[in-house]
Homo-oligomer: A and B are copies of this chain.
Amino acid sequence: MEQLLNHIKDYSPLSDEAQYALHDCFEQVVLSKNEYLLTEGKICRHLFFLQQGALRGFYTLDGKEITHWFGFEKDFVTSFHSFITQEPAVENIQLLEGSILWAISKDTLTGLFNQYHEIERLVRIAYEKYYIRLEERFVNAQFKTATERYENLLLQTPHIIERVSLGHIASYLGISQETLSRIRSRF
């Protein structure tokens, strides 16, 4: 929980009062490898903070699993579309490692927004960071070659390689496992 509160301070400073409120509203969730945080068709009612561990978001297309994002330590994770719209999720969230998370429900968060302007600000600022991150991924996806995408991954988040299987990384980069293997073999 301290990790969460400390991390949050990097986004925007919070009054003690707001921090206490947050402290009271998050609940710990512990899951082991391969378990699911969310499955397709369910409505995602919580936002999670990943304190320790790793997970992936994936959906199924033509019988194949497409991993479109990973979550690691200090990431906020949820099925964003479902969480915001409260419609059924199109994706699954699966643990890649045993993990410790902190969960807050959408209703509770909405209540905090009403009570604390500063918490809504915090989320506004967090959104900005996540938007910029997604923008970069988008530009990579659309306008760079497979090799460039892989090099970029090595530069930006080298730790992924050690914790995630080749197949999942290939999917994440939008290329086949075989192609990634070949790219890798020529450094």
Give A residues with C-beta under 8 Å from B: 61, 66, 68, 80-81, 84-85, 113, 117, 120-121, 123-124, 127-128, 130-132, 134-135, 137-139, 141-143, 174
Give 29 A-B contacts (CB < 8 Å), ordered by A residue.
Answer: A61-B143, A68-B139, A68-B142, A68-B143, A80-B132, A81-B132, A81-B135, A84-B128, A84-B132, A85-B132, A113-B121, A117-B117, A117-B120, A120-B120, A120-B121, A123-B124, A124-B124, A127-B127, A127-B128, A127-B131, A131-B131, A134-B135, A134-B138, A138-B138, A141-B141, A141-B142, A142-B142, A142-B174, A143-B174
Interface secondary structure of A, over-half rule: helix
Closest-CB distance, A45 to chain B (whole angstroms): 16
CB distance from A55 to the nearest CB of B (A): 17
Residues of B within 8 A of A139 (CB): 68
The distance in angstroms between the C-alpha atoms of A137 and B81, with both chains bound, is: 13
Q: A124 to B119: give the CA distance in the assembly, Å.
A: 11
**Chain B residue, CB-CB nearest to A113:** B121
